[in-house]
């Protein structure tokens, strides 16, 4: 991060307890963070909603004022292309403004009582302390959409950003601190999940745990948190399809698939990694898709490239291994498939946008999450087969169809096993004021994030009978 003061506990930036960097954090740092949050929780809960909202709005304004700085930090740290990084920062700005407004009137509802002498109403109360564990691929947007509703509803927070991208998270917490957030209400501790995450999920002072990341880690986090009696929210992996039918505008279909597959270097849980294409338009679609993939400029985000590097050597290696697996299983490599070398690639983890044709549903490239710019294209004979293939994976996060047939569009929405269904749109890209979450192994299927639904996870409902 460029300095040793990477933990924010009880309103102060501190070095790790041991003086060591986050690769070897003392669990005492995480414990101190929880204790600070517990101590601050009651005061923040009793802070009037309009005042909480004012602070969140002020944080939004500070994020907006630092947008260029945040964008460049995100590019350097995570590798996104500049338009993608700027868009993510703007999303964080908008999220805090949205939940700042929500905090002003979020309290409960009044209901009609059976007795004329009774006032019947509900009150939404904060859980207490929420532990937030976030990934590296959206290192400011995902923390924002967890932090903002947690704070809007009166919870104190302990927060662990991903070790691959902690600096932009630090800057986000700085904006909250500058906006007037009381000490202890937000506490950030960097470090590995085996140390920080374990304390956050098991400490008796934590009431709720919200996690976004891989399915394997998420299931372990969820099991530990549930065993410790916490409320749990998990958003995990995806293997997201776009179905292309004969009635589709093929130029638009290619743009939708390419944007969904290669945007943010394929490093999104909602990225399109399967194109399920009707055989009547299969060859024409593939020809245009290869042209689109080969037109993408790959390079450093600060240099204006369309697609940046993978975040780490490990992520790149995982992508290259899946490319080798796909070749070995008999998929046809149409374009890409190699690591990029030479200037300006030698100092980063760059891979070509990659398209495999003639994939079958049982191939690993068709059913396992790759998390890189690799697309499997599967031919199908009709709509029924397309839906069968789309649903025949363990994940169910985001899915889309490109069609001009109203019946196909409506059947797709009804039959797809996914938390997000899109018609004539890419699988990536989410509105902040509607619920987001997955099905099957993509989610705990408990509470949704974003919009009004994002407030529910962080609150308990109390029903009041006021007789007079």
108 and 184, same domain (yes or no) = yes
Q: In what order do the strands lie in the sheet with 118-126?
A: 110-111, 118-126, 459-467
Looking at every residue in the chain, the average pLDDT score rounds to: 94
pLDDT band at 286, cuts 50/70/90? very high
Buried b vs exposed e over 311-326: b needs ≥16 C-beta within 10 Å? bbeebbebbbebbeeb
Q: Are 6 and 20 a contacting pair, CB within 8 Å?
A: no
pTM: 0.94
Predicted confidence (pLDDT) per residue in 124-178, tens digit: 999 999 999 999 999 999 999 999 999 999 999 999 999 888 999 999 999 999 9
Question: Is the residue at 220 inside a domain?
Answer: yes
- Pick from 203, 204, 188, 238: which is nearest to 218 by CA? 238
Q: Which long-range contacts does 291-294 make (Cβ < 8 Å, 24+ apart)?
A: 292/254, 292/255, 292/258, 293/258, 293/262, 293/335, 293/336, 293/353, 293/354, 293/355, 293/375, 294/335, 294/353
CA–CA gap between residue 307 and residue 377 (Å, rounded) = 21
- The predicted structure's pLDDT at residue 340: 96
pLDDT at residue 2 tops 50: no
What angle do helix axes 141-152 and 82-105 make, rounded to 10 degrees?
A: 10
119 and 229, same domain (yes or no) = yes
Mean pLDDT along residues 198-221: 95
- Residues known to be catalytic: 235
Q: Are 126 and 155 a contacting pair, CB within 8 Å?
A: yes
3-state secondary structure 364-377: HHHHCCCCCCEEEE
201 and 252, same domain (yes or no) = no
227 and 264, same domain (yes or no) = no
pLDDT band at 5, cuts 50/70/90? low
For residue 110, give its domain range. Answer: 7-236+443-467
**Where is average pLDDT lowest: 26-30, 91-95, 266-270, 423-427?**
26-30
193 and 253, same domain (yes or no) = no
- Pick from 342, 350, 397: which is nearest to 373 by CA? 350
Q: What share of the chain in percent tops pLDDT 90? A: 91
103 and 208, same domain (yes or no) = yes
249 and 203, same domain (yes or no) = no
Question: Is the residue at 1 inside a domain?
Answer: no
- Give the CATH number for residue 398: 3.40.309.10
CA–CA gap between residue 68 and residue 311 (Å, rounded) = 21
Buried b vs exposed e over 188-226: b needs ≥16 C-beta within 10 Å? bbbbebebbbbbbbbbebbbbbbbbbebebbebbbebbe
**What is the count of structural domains for the chain?**
2
pLDDT band at 347, cuts 50/70/90? confident
48 and 77, same domain (yes or no) = yes
Is cis: bond before 50, omega within 30 of 0?
A: no
Question: Is the residue at 251 inside a domain?
Answer: yes
46 and 95, same domain (yes or no) = yes
CA–CA gap between residue 228 and residue 366 (Å, rounded) = 36
CB contact set of 20 (below 8 Å; sequence gap of 6+): 26
Q: In angstroms, how far apart are the furthest CA atoms of the chain?
A: 80
Mean pLDDT along residues 202-220: 96
């Amino acid at each position: 991060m460029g300095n040793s003061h990477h933990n924010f506990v009880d309103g102060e930036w501190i070095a790790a307890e041991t003086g060591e960097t986050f690769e070897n954090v003392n669990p005492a740092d995480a414990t101190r963070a929880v204790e600070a949050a517990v101590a601050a929780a009651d005061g923040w809960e009793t802070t009037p909603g309009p005042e909480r909202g004012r602070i969140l709005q002020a944080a939004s304004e500070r994020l907006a004022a630092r947008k260029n700085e945040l964008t460049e930090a995100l590019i350097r740290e995570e590798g996104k292309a500049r338009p993608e990084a700027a868009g993510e920062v703007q999303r964080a700005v908008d999220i805090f403004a949205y939940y700042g407004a929500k905090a002003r009137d979020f309290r409960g509802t009044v209901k009609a009582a059976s007795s004329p002498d009774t006032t019947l109403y509900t009150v939404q109360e904060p859980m207490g302390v929420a532990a937030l564990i976030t990934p590296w691929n959206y290192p400011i947007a995902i923390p924002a959409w967890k932090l903002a509703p947690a704070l809007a509803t009166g919870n104190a927070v302990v927060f662990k950003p991903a070790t691959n991208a902690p600096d932009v998270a630090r800057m986000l917490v700085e904006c909250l601190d500058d906006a007037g957030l009381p000490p202890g209400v937000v506490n950030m501790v960097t470090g590995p999940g085996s140390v920080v995450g374990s304390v956050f999920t098991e400490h008796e002072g934590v009431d709720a745990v919200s996690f976004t990341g891989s399915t394997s880690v998420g299931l372990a986090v969820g099991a530990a948190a549930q065993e410790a009696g916490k409320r749990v929210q998990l958003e995990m992996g995806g293997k997201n399809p776009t179905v292309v039918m004969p009635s589709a505008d093929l130029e638009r279909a290619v743009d939708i698939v390419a944007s969904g597959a290669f945007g943010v270097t394929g490093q999104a849980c909602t990225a399109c990694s399967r194109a399920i294409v009707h055989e009547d338009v299969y060859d024409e679609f593939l020809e245009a898709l290869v042209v689109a993939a080969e037109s993408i400029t790959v390079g450093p985000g600060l240099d204006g490239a369309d697609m940046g590097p993978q975040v780490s050597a490990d992520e790149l290696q995982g992508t290259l291994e899946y490319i080798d697996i796909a070749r070995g299983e008999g998929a046809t490599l149409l374009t890409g498939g190699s690591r990029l070398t030479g200037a300006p690639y030698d100092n980063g983890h760059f891979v070509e946008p990659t398209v495999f044709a003639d994939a079958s549903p049982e191939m690993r490239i068709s059913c396992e999450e790759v998390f890189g710019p690799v697309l499997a294209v599967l031919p199908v004979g009709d709509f029924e087969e397309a839906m069968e293939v789309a649903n025949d994976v363990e994940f169910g996060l985001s899915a889309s169809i490109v069609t001009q047939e109203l019946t196909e569009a409506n059947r797709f929405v009804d039959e797809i096993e996914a938390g997000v269904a899109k018609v004539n749109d890419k699988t990536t890209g989410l509105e902040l004021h509607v619920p987001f979450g997955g099905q099957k192994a993509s989610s705990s299927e408990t509470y949704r994030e974003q919009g009004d639904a994002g407030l529910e996870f962080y609150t308990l409902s109390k029903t009041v009978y006021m007789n007079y």
